[in-house]
Amino acid sequence: MSRLLGVGLVCLASGCSLILDFSESQIPIDAPPDVFTAAECSFSEPNDTFAAAVAINAGETAMAALCADGFQDRDFYKFTVPAATTTLTAGITFTNLAGDLDMYLYDAAGVQLSFSAGSADNESLVCPGVTPACGLGMTPPIPEGDYVLEVRSLANVQNTYGLSVTLGI
């Protein structure tokens, strides 16, 4: 003898079993996957390696996205710091609930100078700075030259972000 005791639960004389129904007819229906615009996913692509870093201008803000499709998407951006620059500020704005992103700063040779990898909304770093530490020294000026920012996610998530680099002179 069996009887239905509620959605998905069937009990027989020997015990009960839970029946899971993942069809579209069940409530609540899963949320649709995040969809990013083609412009956000293709902004400055291909820029998935250090060697393919795309030039950006300090003072501009760009909207982009990590759009992993079965692999980890990483975005690299390069910029130039002129002589007599006193501060370098870099940031990405995003909503952590949609997926955590991290940011790394490298010199032109690929040596990591700083990173910001928290677990809240947004990431930022300021050079010279202590938290997070910046490998450009503790006092101005910032050494002139080319630098590279990397935006990535350790969890292979997809998320949109705003990117900005500001130089103080």
pLDDT digits (tens, 9 = 90+) for 76-90: 999 999 999 999 999
Q: What are phi and psi of 76, to 5 degrees?
A: -120, 135
pLDDT attached to residue 139: 84
Q: Which two tokens stand for residue 136?
A: 């450009």
Question: Rounded to a whole number, what is the largest CA-CA distance in the chain?
Answer: 85
Q: What is the dihedral of CA 98, 102, 103, 106, to 10 degrees?
A: -150
pLDDT attached to residue 6: 43
- Residue spans per domain, the chain: 38-168
Cis peptide bond upstream of 141, omega within 30: yes
pLDDT digits (tens, 9 = 90+) for 2-28: 444 444 555 566 666 666 555 555 555
Question: What dotted CATH number matches 38-168?
Answer: 2.60.120.380
pLDDT digits (tens, 9 = 90+) for 95-129: 988 888 999 999 999 999 999 998 889 999 999 98
